[in-house]
Structure 1
Amino acid sequence: MEFFELVEYGNFTIEQMATIYDVSRKMYNLLIAQGQFEAAKRFAGKTVYVANEVLKQIYNAGLERERHCSIFLWQSF
């Protein structure tokens, strides 16, 4: 989970955080497709964290919708 350690301790611009969110979202989708549900659950939870950080700075309806999808997947496993 080194990927998320960088997020928690890094000093990123909003654009960089949005990119990190996008990578994270794609990663948990890939893990689900591969049947790695426990790893996907961890990524979905961290994805919610990243989305919340981005949404604190700017509001984006698409990001808000994706955050809800991440929460749903995170709670479903």
Structure 2
Amino acid sequence: MNIQHDNNLNLDSVYFAGGCLWGVQEFIKHLPGVVSTEAGRANGTSNNTAGEYDGYAECVQVVFDTDKVALNTLISYFF
């Protein structure tokens, strides 16, 4: 998903899931080229986050500047 930012940054986004979302977010938000992160849940059967486990995956949305870091580089950091 390409995003055009106000100050002409070439932004894109990707979602990472891997264990505790807080740990993933803390690691990724410090990588070069990462503009923002948002932790959340994906693919559950309910919109309610206060109930029992419903199949969701904890994930982090990462918005990054494609002029500073390539998606393949972010993936290699993650794995």
Greater share of residues in helix = 1
TM class, shorter-length: under 0.3
If asked which structure has higher relative contact order (CA below 8 Å, sep 6+), I would say: 2
TM-score (norm 1): 0.27
Greater share of residues in strand = 2
TM-score (norm 2): 0.27
